[in-house]
Structure 1
Amino acid sequence: MPAFRQVGEKQLPNPILYMAWCPKRDLIALANTTGELLLHRLANFHRVWSLPPNENTGKEITSLAWRPDGKVLAFSVGDTKQVVLCDAEKAEILHLFPVEYPASCMHWMEVQDDSSTLTSFSESEDESSRFLPKLPTLPKSTTSKIFSEEKSEEVTNLLGEVRLNILVVGGPSGFVELYAYGLYKIATLSGILGTCRSLGLSSDLKSLSVITEIRSTDDNPEIRYIQLDTGLLSSCLPELTKMARKFTHISTLLQYLRVSLTCMCEAWEEILMQMDLRLTKFVQEKNTSTQVQDEFLELLLWGHASPELQALLMNQLTVKGLKMLGQSIDSSYSSIQKLVISHLQSGSEALLYHLSEVKGMALWKQKFQPLGLDPSDIEDAIVAVGSFTLKASELLQVIDKSMKNFKAFFRWLYVAMLRMSEDHVPPELNKMTQKDLAFVADFLSEHFSANEELFDRKGKYFNVERVGQYLKDEDEDLVSPPNMDGNQWVTFVKQSTHLKDSPLLFPTYPQKSLHFVKRLMEASIDLCLQKPAAVIGDSVKQAVCLRLYTVPESSENTPRLFELPSLWNDKKAAMHYVVFCMPEISPSKIYILRRPTDPNRSVPNGLVALNLNTPLNSSIDDETPAPASVDYSYSCLDARFYDDETLTVVLRRLEDDENKMRVLAQLPLNSAMSWDEEFSWDLSLRLEQQTEGIPVQGVAWGNQSREMDNISAQFVAVNGIRKVACVLSANLRHVRVFEMDAEEEEDEEERADESQEMSSDQDRIEDTKTNESDAVEGGRVEDAQVSGQGPRDSLDDTAGSDTL
C-alpha cells in the first residue's frame, strides 16, 4: 500500500510559476503565467479565491511569501517593480510599495524571542490609543484603491502580533532589502554580487543566508552561498521592534493623509464640473461688451437687470438650475471642510504624537543611535508636520469665507430670479443685511474678476480658484494668497525680531499650496524613515562566501522558479541549511550544507552528501541488513525541508529509458546530520572541483515513498506543520496534493477511476475556463459547501469550489 494519501489533483489551464503553502492553514497560494494569484484549499484542492492582475499591481508575479501567521500574503510584481500585501481572507490589497528591482525571491520570518522586554514595549505602544482619537473612516475614493476604506484599526491588523516579523526581498544586482512587518524598510544591503535566487533570515536575527547566481561573460553562471552577519539586529532587538512599529504607524498615517487629499481633490473637481455645466457656459454666451460682473453689480445696487442678463438668467440658468447648483456646491464644500477637520487634522495630530515619541527615542543615544535615529532630522520632520497643520487651518478659513460668499450670492440671485419671474418670495429670504450685501460684492469681485491671471488655463471665464489653488499639485505660488494685513498675530510676529526667526514657531509658507507643504512634510519624514535603513544596512557585513557550482548551459531553458538550491532555517538548533544538487558531477547525490546562524560559531559535519543509490524498500532501522546490490539509482529533481529532520524530494529513476519514472519520498536526516566526519574546504575553489573529500552518507526512505503514476513530477512544495505536499508536473499545469502522514486507502480500481476522471477533467478545461471567468466577480469565487477530507480552517469554508 503506497504511503501518503492523495487528497486532490487538478489540471490547470495556465502554467504555475510559484506555489507556497500557508504556514498556519490548509491553504496553498499559486501564481500563474497570466499574473493571476490563486488560493486553493487542501481538501480536494478547491479554489477559495483568485486575484486577477490589474493596473495597481501588474501582470508578472516573480515571487511569493506568506506572513508567519498566515493572514497576509506578499507577492512581488516584475513589470511594475512592486511588492504587494494581500489579505488572505478577502483577496483585498492591503498595501503595496515600490522596489528598485523586480524581486526574484522573498522570505518572511518571525523573530523567536521570549524576553519580557518586547512585552513591556507592546504595553507602552498601546498608550497611543489613550491619547489619540480613532482615525475616521475614509470615504470611498474613485482614484485611490489602496486604503480607500481604511479603518482606525487597520494599522494594528497589518502589524499583526507584537513579535517582530521581517519580510526579506531579494533581486538582481545584489538587491536585498528588509521590511519590518512587511511595511517599513529597516535595512538596505549592499556589496552582494549577483542575482539573489533564495534567501533566509535566521529567527534569532544573527545572520542572513543568501544564494546568489553570478553571471560572467566567459563562464557558466556560478551559484554561491553567502552568509551575512546581521548582529546589530539581534543585539538591538527591543529597540528595533519599537522603532519599526513607530515608523510603520508613521508610514501608514502618511498614506492616510494622501488619500484624504485625494478625496478632497475629487470633491473639488465636482464643484468645477458643476460650474462648467452652468455658470461658465452662462458667462461665455453673454456676447455684449459689458462685463458680467458689472451687470450683476447693477442688479445688486438698483434691483433691475438688463434684458439680456434677464434672458440669460431665466433661459440658460433657470430657477431650478440655480437651486441645484447651489445645493451641489454647498455639499462639495462641506465634504472638503469635513475632510480637513476630521481627516487632515486628526492624521496630523497622530503624526506629531508618534514623531515626538520617536524624537524621545532618538535622544536616548545609548539605545537608539546605533539604529540611525537622528534627533535633528526628526525635529525637522516635526516642524514640517506643524507647517502642514497650519496650512490645513488656513485652508479651513478660506473655505469658510468662500462658503459664506457662495451662500449669500446664491440666496440673493435666487430671490432676484423669483422676482423676475414674478413668483412669491418667502419672507425669510427677502431680508438682506449689509453684511450679506458685502458677501455678494466680495463674491462678484473674486469669482467674476476681469483679471486675466485668475482665468483658468482652459479658457474658462469663471474663477473659482480661491479654494482650488490649495489643492493643485504644482510648484507655482498661490494665485490669490490670503490677505493677512489685518491679522494681529502675523503683525506682532513680523515686528518682533526674536519671534520672527524662532525655531519654536512653525513656518507658514503663505504663498504655497497645501500640496506643496505636504510634499515638504513627506520629504522630511522620508529622510527620517530612510536613514535607519542605510545605517543598519551598512552594519551588515559578509561573514562567509562559498562557491558551490556552475549551472550548465543545457539548463538555461528549464524553469528556474523552483530550482535548487533551497534554504531552510532550523529554529531549534539555530542553523541554516542549504540543499543542492550537482547533476553534472554526481547525479545521484544530494548535498546538504549546514551553517550556524551565529557566524562566529562552527559546527562539525558542515557538509554531507546523501547517496540515493539505495534500495527503494530498505530502511536504516531494519534489523535485516540491506542487500549488497543496489536496485535502482535516482537523481533528485527538487527537494524541500519538510521539518528539521526530514527532506521531501522528487526523484527520477536513472535506469528508466523513457525518463518517466518519478518518486515522491521522505528522506530521514538524523543519521546523516549526526555523522562527525569533517570536510576540509578550499575556499579558493568551487565545491564541484573538490567533491572527493565530501563525506557521503547512505540514506533510505523505506516505505516513506510513492511512485508518481500518470504525472511527470518535477517540483514539490511542502508544509511540515500541516503535513502536506503539493507536486507540480514538468509542464507546470498538473498538480497533486498529498497528506504525508496518512496512507492511501483506496484500491487500484478507485485509482484507475480517478485517472479516468482526470482525463475527462482535462478535456473539459477550456469550457470550464469560460464558465469560471463568469463565476468570478471581484476576485472571488463563491461556491457551495465542499465536503472534501483533510483539515479545515475558518477562512470562508463555504467559498471556493473550483469547477475544474
Structure 2
Amino acid sequence: MPDETAFKQVDEKHVSVEVELMLWSPKFDLVALSNGQGEVVLHRLSWQKVWLVAPPAEDVKVTALAWRPDGKVLAAGYTCGKINLYDIENSEILTTLELQGEVTCMSWITQSLPEGSTWSPDPYDEDNAAVYLPKLQPLNKSYGTLTKGTSVEENVEDKKKLNDQKELNLLLAGCGAKNLHMFAYGVYPIGEGVISPIPDGQLKQIHSAEISQDLHMVSVVIELVKDDVQDQQFSILTFDTRLLSSRLVFLALKCGRICTLRGYLQQTIQQMSEAWEDILMEMDSKLLKFAGEKRKTGTSTVSNDFLELLMFGTPSPELQAFLLHELTEKGLKNLGHSIETSYSNIQKLVVQHLQVVSQAILYHLSDLRGMSTWYEKFGVLGMNTQKIQEAVTAVGSFVVLKTSEIQQVIDNSIKNFKAFFRWLYVVILRLSNEKPPAELSKMTQHDINFVAEFLRDNFAHFTLDNHDEEDISIADLMEDNNSKSGFKLEKVGQYLKREDLHYPPTVSSNPWVQFQKGCFHLKDTDILYPVENTKSLVQLLDILLEAIHSALSRPSMVIGSSFECLSSRHLFTLPKKEGDSNLKPKVCQFTGNEGQFLYTAYCMERLPSESLIILRQSTKGGSVHCEAVAVKFGEIPYRSADTSGQDDQERCSKHRLQDVGYYDEKTLSLLLVEEGEDESPVLVQLPLVVIPDSMYTEVPPDGNRQDFSLNVIDVGEKLENQSYQRLENMKAHSFSVSGTRKTAIVLFSSKRRVRIFLMDAEEEEDDEDEADETGDITEADISGVRNGDTSGAQEGDFNTSGAQEGDSVMQMEEGDSEGQEDKENLNFLTPDRGQTS
C-alpha cells in the first residue's frame, strides 16, 4: 500500500492537569508523564492509569524523566535537587539521590560494544554472596507489634532491583550550573564531574548530557553567560571517560549491594527505636517523687526502704502508701507486660535482622578490601584500602561487639524486671489483704539475692549530694545527664539514643579485655575490632555509615576528576527577548553503535524552527572528529484520499520544526507544522540514511571557525509516503516516541489532550495475517500481536509481547471519559498494545 501511512491512531485522551514531560518506556507499553502540579503519572498504551505519585515537597516540579534500560525503574528529577527512582510495579521509591541544585537533565544508557570491536570489558565471575550469607528477612511495617503482626513479604534481598542487572548501565544527571553526576545502575555514585568554565564565559546551566554506548565519551550541551553579551550562548563539550568502561561492572554491583544493605540496616534501627518506648519513665518519675518526699522528712532513703521490705517483709508507711496508691497492682501488671513485649521485639530485630544485615555488609566490604589491593584494576579507580579497612572496623565493632552487648543487656533486664516485679506484685497483694497466687508467693534464697542485687545496682546510686538547691524539681533530676542522680531502671533505651551511654556495662574484669590491654602487639592490629564501651548503638551506626560513605565515595571523586575535556564547540546564540530568559533550547542527544556516532540534534532558534542541525561525533578511539549538517523541510506531498496511487498535486511549500525525538539508531522522529495560520502538524519519521555522508561538514573547535558554514539539505522530497502522517484537527505542542515499542504520543497545544499512535501498524498487521494463515503462533509472532486479536482474551486483559515469567499482577485504575476509575487485576509488566480498533 504505497500511498498509505504506517501510522495508526490508537486513541485520543484528555488529562485533568497540564502535561509538562512525556517519556515512553524502552521495554513496555507504558508512558510516564509529569504535570504542572509536580506529579508523575504512569499510563499504559490503553491509557489505564497505573499509578500517580506526588512531588516530594510543595512547589516542586519535575524537570527530567529517564527510564532504566530494562524499563522496570523510572527516574524523576525535581527542581529541589532530588532524583527519585520509582519501581513501576507499585510506585515505591527504591532510591532517593540528593543533589545540590536543580536537576536539569537526565539520561540512562547501558554499556554495549559495537560489532567487530576488539576491546571488551574485563570479565568477572558473578557474585556468589548468596551461597554464604543468610537470607534477609522481610521487615514488618507495623513497628513495635512483631509478636502480633504478620510480616509483609517483600523482596528485601534486592530492594534496589539490582540482581537482574548483568550489564553495566549509567544514569547521567546534570545538576545546577556545572555538576555532572553518574550513578551506576542508578544507585551507586560512580562519577561526579565539574564542568570547567569556558574562557570569557560563565556556566549557567547544563541542558543535555549523553554518554556513548561504549562509555568512552560524554557529550554535554551547556548554556553560557558572558559579561558583554546578553544573549543566550550555547556550546557543546566533549569529555574522555574511558576510565569508566573497563573496570566497573563487578565493582558497581558490589557497591550497589552495600547501598541496599545500608538502607535495610537503617530501617532495622528505625524499627528498634519504634519498638522501644519510654516504658519505665513513668515509674522513674514516681520513684523520684517518692525520693523527694523522703528527703524532706529526713527519714531513711528509698533504697533502705526497699531493702527493709525485702529482708523483714514490713514496709515503711511512706513505702506502703507509694505501693498502694502510686504504683498500684494494675499499673505494675501493665508495666511488666509493656517491658516484656518491647524487649522481646527489640531482641527479635537484633537477632533476626540487625546481626544478619551487618554480617552481609562486613562480607561485601571485606571483598572490596581485597579488590582494592589490586591497584591496576581497582586502586586506580579510587578504591582506598585504608578507607575500606576503616569501614570494616566500624562494622565489626557494630555487629560483633555492640549487638552482642545489647543482647546481654536485654537478657539481664528481662530477668531482673521479672524477679523485681513479681516480688513487688506479691507485696502489693498482701498489703491489699488479697491472697497472692501460690506459684508467686514462694521466694527462694536465690530469688532474694537476685532482687537485692537489682536494688543495689539501680537504687543505691540515687543521691542528691550533687545539688545544692533545696527545691530542685523532679524534671531537673530527670534531665541531669552528667551525673547518675535519678532512677534509671531501664538500660536498653540508652542504646537507641544519639548520646553516650549513661550506664555502660563494666568490662574491666573481662579476661579478654585485660589480655588485649596487656599485649602491646595487639593494640594497632586490624584483626581485632575496638571496643566502644561508652558509645550507643545509634552512635556506632552513624560512625559506620560515615565510614562506608567515605570508602565508597572516593571512586566517584577520582573518576570525576579524570574526565578530560577533548573539545569545545560553540553551537548557537539565541537573541534575548523579554519574558523568556529561562527559555530552554530544543536539544536531542542519542548514541548508537551502528556507525559509532554520538548525535546531537538541536534548533538554532525558537520553536517552531526553520531548520534542524544534526551534529555527530565519532566515538572511535577517543576521536574528537565532529561534523554537522543543516536539515530543512520544504514541500511534503499530499497523498490521495483513496488507494489508487494517484497523487494530489496540492503541496505545502514550507514546514517548520516543532519537536524532535530519538526513535532508533537509524531514525529521527520529527513533529513539523505547516507554515501558515493553521500550523497543521505533521508527524514524520526521518531515516538518517537520506542524508549522505558527503553533506556533513567538519565542525572545527572554538578558535578555528573562520568562514565556517554548514551544508543545507531539504529532506521534504526525500520522505516516503509511509514515513509521515498529517494530524488533522489539532494544534500540536510536543511529542514522545519509542522505537523499541513503536509508539508515539502527541500533546496538544493546550497540554491537556493527547493522541496516541502506533508507528509501524502496517508491518504488525502483516505479522498477524501471517500468524492466522499458519494457525501456529510462535514466540516471535507474539511480539506483533495486538490486544483484541489474542484468542481467548477477556476484556481488560492486555498480556501480549515481551511477557516474562514472574511478572507480577497488581491492582490498577483505569479512567474513563467521565473521570471514573475501575480497578482490575492487570499484569502491566507484560507489554500491551491496547485496543487498536
TM-score with structure 2 setting the length: 0.81
Task: Rate the CA distance shift 1:2–1:590 in 2: closer, same or farther, 3 A.
Answer: same
**After the TM superposition, which residues 308-323 of structure 1 pair with which residues of structure 2 at under 5 Å, given as runs?**
308-323=318-333
Structure 1 residue 425, shift from structure 2 partner = 2.7
Structure 1 residue 397, shift from structure 2 partner = 2.1
Mapped pair 1:742 → 2:761: yes
Aligned-partner residue type, residue 696 of structure 1? I
Structure 1 residue 122, shift from structure 2 partner = 4.2
> Could you tell me how far apart the structure 2 residues matched to 1:265 and 1:662 are?
59
Q: Cα deviations across residues 745-790 of structure 1 (Å, max 9, x unaligned)?
A: 9xxxxxxxxxxxxxxxxxxxxxxxxxxxxxxxxxxxxxx9647899
Q: Cα deviations across residues 460-511 of structure 1 (Å, max 9, x unaligned)?
A: 964245222222113xx32222112321222222223333444432211222
Structure 1 residue 598, shift from structure 2 partner = 3.1
> Could you tell me how far apart the structure 2 residues matched to 1:631 and 1:686 are?
39
Mapped pair 1:396 → 2:417: no
**One of 5, 8, 11 as aligned partner of 1:5:** 8
Aligned-partner residue type, residue 55 of structure 2? P
TM-score with structure 1 setting the length: 0.84
Structure 1's unaligned 5+ residue stretches are 746-783
Task: Rate the CA distance shift 1:416–1:690 in 2: closer, same or farther, 3 A.
Answer: farther
Retained in 2: the 8 A contact 1:617–1:702?
no
Mapped pair 1:472 → 2:489: no
Once the two structures are overlaid, the 10-residue window that deviates more, 422-431 or 454-463, is: 454-463
Retained in 1: the 8 A contact 2:462–2:487?
no
> Could you tell me how far apart the structure 2 residues matched to 1:369 and 1:148 are?
41
Show the counterpart of 2:110. Answer: 110
> Could you tell me how far apart the structure 2 residues matched to 1:739 and 1:275 are?
67
Once the two structures are overlaid, the 10-residue window that deviates more, 274-283 or 355-364, is: 274-283
> Could you tell me how far apart the structure 1 residues matched to 2:18 and 2:728 are?
20
Show the counterpart of 1:531. Answer: 554
Structure 1 residue 266, shift from structure 2 partner = 1.6
Mapped pair 1:601 → 2:613: no
- Secondary structure (helix, strand or coil) at the match of 1:264 reads helix
Retained in 2: the 8 A contact 1:186–1:532?
yes
Show the counterpart of 1:504. Answer: 527
> Could you tell me how far apart the structure 1 residues matched to 2:196 and 2:133 are?
43
Show the counterpart of 1:441. Answer: 452
Aligned-partner residue type, residue 225 of structure 1? I
> Could you tell me how far apart the structure 1 residues matched to 2:543 and 2:106 are?
33
**One of 388, 392, 396 as aligned partner of 1:378:** 388
Mapped pair 1:37 → 2:40: yes
Show the counterpart of 2:51. Answer: 49
Retained in 2: the 8 A contact 1:786–1:798?
no
Structure 1 residue 29, shift from structure 2 partner = 0.6
Show the counterpart of 2:571. Answer: 548
**After the TM superposition, which residues 188-199 of structure 1 pair with which residues of structure 2 at under 5 Å, given as runs?**
188-193=192-197, 194=203, 195-199=205-209
**After the TM superposition, which residues 137-216 of structure 1 pair with which residues of structure 2 at under 5 Å, given as runs?**
137-140=138-141, 151-155=155-159, 157-193=161-197, 194=203, 195-216=205-226
> Could you tell me how far apart the structure 2 residues matched to 1:641 and 1:97 are?
27
> Could you tell me how far apart the structure 2 residues matched to 1:112 and 1:480 are?
58
Retained in 1: the 8 A contact 2:680–2:727?
yes
**One of 676, 681, 688 as aligned partner of 2:694:** 676
RMSD across aligned C-alpha pairs, in angstroms? 3.5
Of Structure 1 and Structure 2, the greater helix share is in 1
How many percent identity over aligned positions?
36
Show the counterpart of 2:25. Answer: 22
> Could you tell me how far apart the structure 1 residues matched to 2:799 and 2:273 are?
52
Retained in 1: the 8 A contact 2:680–2:730?
no
Structure 1 residue 706, shift from structure 2 partner = 2.6
Task: Rate the CA distance shift 1:151–1:441 in 2: closer, same or farther, 3 A.
Answer: farther
Q: Cα deviations across residues 242-297 of structure 1 (Å, max 9, x unaligned)?
A: 111111122222222222111112222x2x1x334566357537763255444323
**One of 234, 240, 254 as aligned partner of 2:262:** 254
Retained in 2: the 8 A contact 1:141–1:148?
no
Show the counterpart of 1:513. Answer: 536
Show the counterpart of 2:77. Answer: 76
> Could you tell me how far apart the structure 1 residues matched to 2:650 and 2:746 are?
30
Aligned-partner residue type, residue 188 of structure 1? E
Show the counterpart of 1:86. Answer: 86
Mapped pair 1:61 → 2:62: yes
Structure 1 residue 730, shift from structure 2 partner = 2.9
Task: Rate the CA distance shift 1:154–1:451 in 2: closer, same or farther, 3 A.
Answer: farther
Structure 1 residue 121, shift from structure 2 partner = 2.5
Task: Rate the CA distance shift 1:77–1:458 in 2: closer, same or farther, 3 A.
Answer: farther
Retained in 1: the 8 A contact 2:636–2:651?
yes
Retained in 2: the 8 A contact 1:166–1:181?
yes
- Secondary structure (helix, strand or coil) at the match of 1:367 reads coil
Q: Cα deviations across residues 637-681 of structure 1 (Å, max 9, x unaligned)?
A: 110121222221111222x13x54222222232120x33145253
Task: Rate the CA distance shift 1:724–1:353 in 2: closer, same or farther, 3 A.
Answer: same
- Secondary structure (helix, strand or coil) at the match of 1:19 reads strand
**One of 607, 619, 633 as aligned partner of 2:654:** 633
> Could you tell me how far apart the structure 2 residues matched to 1:408 and 1:205 are?
66
> Could you tell me how far apart the structure 2 residues matched to 1:566 and 1:135 are?
43
> Could you tell me how far apart the structure 2 residues matched to 1:189 and 1:284 are?
61
Aligned-partner residue type, residue 644 of structure 1? E
Structure 1 residue 102, shift from structure 2 partner = 2.3
Once the two structures are overlaid, the 10-residue window that deviates more, 576-585 or 184-193, is: 576-585
Mapped pair 1:331 → 2:353: no
- Secondary structure (helix, strand or coil) at the match of 1:441 reads helix
Show the counterpart of 2:613. Answer: 591
> Could you tell me how far apart the structure 1 residues matched to 2:157 and 2:602 are?
44
Retained in 2: the 8 A contact 1:613–1:630?
no
Retained in 1: the 8 A contact 2:638–2:648?
no
Once the two structures are overlaid, the 10-residue window that deviates more, 570-579 or 431-440, is: 431-440
> Could you tell me how far apart the structure 2 residues matched to 1:189 and 1:232 are?
13
Task: Rate the CA distance shift 1:116–1:744 in 2: closer, same or farther, 3 A.
Answer: closer
Retained in 2: the 8 A contact 1:173–1:192?
no
> Could you tell me how far apart the structure 2 residues matched to 1:82 and 1:724 are?
29
Q: Cα deviations across residues 504-525 of structure 1 (Å, max 9, x unaligned)?
A: 3221122222222222222222
> Could you tell me how far apart the structure 2 residues matched to 1:739 and 1:200 are?
27
Structure 1 residue 3, shift from structure 2 partner = 5.3
Aligned-partner residue type, residue 251 of structure 1? C
Mapped pair 1:226 → 2:237: yes
Once the two structures are overlaid, the 10-residue window that deviates more, 785-794 or 722-731, is: 785-794
Retained in 2: the 8 A contact 1:134–1:152?
no
Show the counterpart of 1:297. Answer: 307
- Secondary structure (helix, strand or coil) at the match of 2:338 reads helix
> Could you tell me how far apart the structure 2 residues matched to 1:301 and 1:378 are?
57
Show the counterpart of 2:715. Answer: 698
Retained in 1: the 8 A contact 2:630–2:710?
no
Mapped pair 1:572 → 2:594: yes
> Could you tell me how far apart the structure 2 residues matched to 1:709 and 1:89 are?
36
Aligned residues: 740
> Could you tell me how far apart the structure 2 residues matched to 1:243 and 1:2 are?
48
Structure 2's unaligned 5+ residue stretches are 145-150, 198-202, 296-300, 467-475, 765-793, 820-837
> Could you tell me how far apart the structure 2 residues matched to 1:462 and 1:785 are?
69
